[in-house]
Amino acid sequence: MAVVLTEQSKFSEAIKMNKQSLARKLHIHGGEDHPDIAGTYVGIGALLLKQNRLDDALQMFDRVIEVCNRLGPGRDYRKILAKALLNQAVIRQKQGDLEASTELFEESLAIHVEVLGEMHPEAAEAYQNIAAIYGIQDRHDDAIHFAYKALQIRRKELGMDHPYTIDCLRYYLERKFCKAAAINMKGLTLAKAGGDYADAVKLFLEALEIYMEMGCEVHPVTASVYENMAAAYISADRLEEAVAASADALKIYRRKLGDEHDVTKKRMEEHRSLLKRFLENRS
């Protein structure tokens, strides 16, 4: 608690100093319509946000936007405007308004790209922000797209071993993993609901393709997709395909866990039973 109070005290003191600086700048510039004033408003808004004074921070960033709109289309003004919109997006996200937050992130990103260019180093953070908000909403393709753009910039700017690049790579792979898991679950739900097995299998194959691209050939999640595929084939009485999918899952468990693991033993027993059923039906 003491640490929190100390931090809050520091922020309050910083806000006080910024407001004193703001008063001097307003006097010097004869009013609000100057980029220096807008930049100071951004600083105060950021401090209010750190104090979790969300409504006060939102109002401060509204003032930034008003000033920037009056200043016109200059490059420096637009960069300040993008920062204000970005902070408002963060606030709306904290308030649980994902729709408003997404719109603000998108608007901020558009300005970043317009002012800096699509592959400018400063645009990487904007791409990461928009990828994150899409990720929260399970908009997997959008999240993957922008996470990859951020990764491209970080890799070119900093190299693959830099912590920022590694974070971008981790998030990019995370989003791809989530997409594959969602597709797998969609296929499983369809199969359990008695839907067309071919549609379910198509989804399982799509999930498998993503996992393979990620190097998850012998990962348990890949085995689970094969098992789900086998179950879909069994429900459609296509036992030959079911045996093949079950065998693929079993190979992963044997390689990953070994033959003596309880999970592997159970899958071996299930596979033998399925194979026996297939051979009996064929004869």
pLDDT per residue over 222-264, tens digit each?
999 999 999 999 999 999 999 999 999 999 999 999 999 999 9
Condensed to tens digits (0 to 9), the pLDDT of residues 85-133 reads 999 999 999 999 999 999 999 999 999 888 888 888 888 888 998 999 9
CA distance 245 to 133: 36
Q: How big is the chain by its Cα radius of gyration, in Å?
A: 27
- According to the model, what pLDDT value does residue 5 have? 39
Sign of the alpha-carbon dihedral angle for 156, 161, 163, 169: positive
Please state, as a whole number, how many other Cβ atoms lie within 10 Å of the Cβ of residue 65.
Answer: 16
Going by pLDDT thresholds of 50, 70 and 90, the confidence category of residue 201 is very high
Provide the residue type at 58 as one letter.
L
Q: Is the pTM of this model over 0.95?
A: no
**Element holding 47 (H helix, E strand):** helix 35-50
Six-digit token string for 139: 């908009």
Q: Give the per-residue pLDDT at 9.
A: 67
For 68-96, how does the pLDDT look when each residue is reduced to its tens digit (9 = 90+)?
888 877 777 888 899 999 999 999 999 99
Is pLDDT above 50 for 269? yes
pLDDT band at 7 (very low <50, low <70, confident <90, very high): low
Q: How far is CA 33 from CA 30, 38, 47, 88, 172, in A?
A: 8, 8, 22, 21, 41
Which tens digit of pLDDT belongs to each residue from 204-215? Answer: 999 999 999 999
